[in-house]
Amino acid sequence: MIILLVGTTGVHHTLVAAHLYLKKNISAGEFAHLDGYCDLSLEGSGFPIAIGCDGYGNNVYTLGLGRLVEIGNRAINGFSQIMGFDSSQLLIRELRIPGDLDIWAASKANWMPMGMGNAINRLVADRVISREFKRIKSEALRLTEQVALLQGVSDNMTGLGFKAG
Amino acid sequence: MAKTRKLTGRFQSSWLEPAVVNEAEFMKIIYHCFGGSHSSVTAAAIHLGFLPTNRIPSFHELMALPHFDKTPGDVYGVIRFMGRTGEGDEVYVLGKKNLGNRMDRILIGLAELLGVKDRVVVVNTMRYVNLFMMVGGFLSRRLGLVSLGRPILVWGTRLAFPHLVRAVEEVKNEIRRGEEE
C-alpha cells in the first residue's frame, strides 16, 4: 500500500506527521532536525516526497498541494478512483492544522536573498508546528490505527483467497 | 506500451458513463483548466470528435457540449468524464482553480507512484485561454451574468479553437507514439 499525506506543503507538518507515523520517537523540540524538513527544493518539484517504509512494508509519501488543499485532494482521490485504485492500495490522508496556510505563505518567501527566505520559512514552520505538535501526533496515531485496520482487512482477505493490494 | 484494441461500435464516443471494459488496457486523458468548463471541455470535445476540426464551431455547437459553461463552482477538483474515444480511451475534464502547472506534476507524480504513468496523459489547456475567455468565463460563471459573459466567452473560444485543435493533435500523436513504443 502507498500512504500519501497531503497538506499545504509536503516538507513541514505533513513531513513531521509522516515521521511520527513511522514510529520515530520525535519530541516537540526535535522535529526541526528531520531529513527534508523545510527543504523547499523538494517542495518545489511538486512530486510526492518519499519519507520511508512502515512495518507492514507500506511506502509513505508526503505531498504539498498549496493553498488549495481541498481541490488538490479531491483531484487526487478522483484520479485514484478512475485509475481503479482503492484504499487498500492507496491511502490518501489530508492533514490540516491551524496555521498551515501561514507555513505555506512563509515557504513562498524562499526567493529572498542571503538565506532570509529560508530563515522566515523555518521560523514560521517551527512556531506553528511546535504549537500544533500534539495535534500532529494525534493525527499520526489515527493514521496508525487506520493502517492497522486496513492491513488487518487486507491480511484477512489474503487468507480468504483475495490478493492484497 | 502494449494495448489491445478489439473494439466494437458500443465503444464509440459517448457522453454516457464509461462502458464496462478492461480498464487496464486504455488510456485516461485528463484535460484541465481553471474552471473545467471552457478550454478543457472544448479540448476534450475535439479529442472525442464532438466538434469539427476543419472549421470553427458555431455558438450552438459549443453550447451543446456537455459541461460547457454549465459547471457550478463546487466542482473544482472533481475529475468529470467526457466520453470515450473510438479506440476506447477515456477523456476527462478537471477544473483546478489556481493550482496551475502543479496539477500536472501532482497527477503525473501520483501516476508514477502507482505504476500507471504510461496509461495517463495530463494536459493543461490554460495556455490556450485568451483574455476574452477569461473575461467571458468570469462574467458567466463567477458573477452569474450569463447573457453578457457567454457571447464574449464563445467568441474567445472560437478564437482559441485552432490552437486547441493543434494541442489535441499533439496529444493524439503522443499517444500514438507511446503505443508504437
Q: Which residues of A touch B24 (CB under 8 A)?
A: 84
For residue B122, tell me if it sits in a domain. Answer: yes
Lateral strand order in the sheet of A2-7: A49-53, A59-64, A2-7, A90-94
Please state, in angstroms and rounded to a whole number, the distance separating the CA atoms of residues B53 and B161. Answer: 9
Residue B98 lies in a domain: yes
pLDDT at B83 over 80: yes
What pLDDT is stored for residue A154 in this prediction? 56
| Three cell numbers, residue B138 | 468570469
Q: Is A101 near chain B, with CB under 8 Å?
A: no
Say how many C-beta atoms besides its own lie within 10 A of residue B117's C-beta: 13
CB A108 within 8 Å of CB A20: no
pLDDT at B153: 94
For residues A64 and A76, give the distance between their C-alpha atoms in angstroms, rounded to a whole number: 12
Tell whether B77 is covered by a domain.
Answer: yes
Q: Which residue has 473544482 as its cell numbers?
A: B76
- Could you write out the DSSP letters of every residue in A22-54? TT----TTTGGGSTTTT-HHHHHH-S-EEEEE-
Residue A59 with chain B: CB contacts under 8 Å:
113
Residue B143 lies in a domain: no
Percentage of chain B beyond pLDDT 70 is 86
CA distances from A3 to A10, A13, A86, A114 (A): 13, 16, 12, 36
Task: Give the angle subtended at the CA of A131 by the CAs of A125 and A135, to the nearest 5°.
Answer: 105
Task: Give the torsion sign (CA, A96, A97, A100, A103).
Answer: negative
**How far is Cα of residue B157 from the mean position of the Cα atoms in its chain?**
14
Residue B161 has pLDDT above 90, yes or no: yes
Could you read off the pLDDT of B36-57 as tens digits, one per residue?
989 999 999 999 999 999 999 9
CA dist A125 and B149 (Å) reads: 43
A44 inside 8 A of chain B by CB: no
**Interface touch A75/B106, C-beta < 8 Å:** yes
pTM of the model: 0.83
The number of domains in chain B is 1
Give the whole-angstrom CA distance, residue A91 versus residue B65: 35
Give the side-chain half-sphere CA count within 13 A for A47. 11
CA distance A129 to chain B (A): 24
Q: Domain for residue B47, yes or no?
A: yes
Sequence-distant contacts of A154-158: CB under 8 A, at least 24 apart: A154/A1, A154/A88, A157/A88
The DSSP-derived string for A102-126 is HHHHHHGGGG-TTTHHHHHHHHHHH
Mean pLDDT confidence for A64-85: 92
Would you place residue A155 in the very low, low, confident or very high pLDDT band (cuts 50, 70, 90)?
Answer: low
Contact A75 B77 (CB under 8 A): yes
Is A80–B114 a contact, with Cβ atoms under 8 angstroms apart? yes
Domain that holds residue B25: 4-128+164-175
From the list A2, A68, A75, which residue is nearest B98 (CB)? A68
Contact across the interface for A78 and B109, Cβ inside 8 Å: no
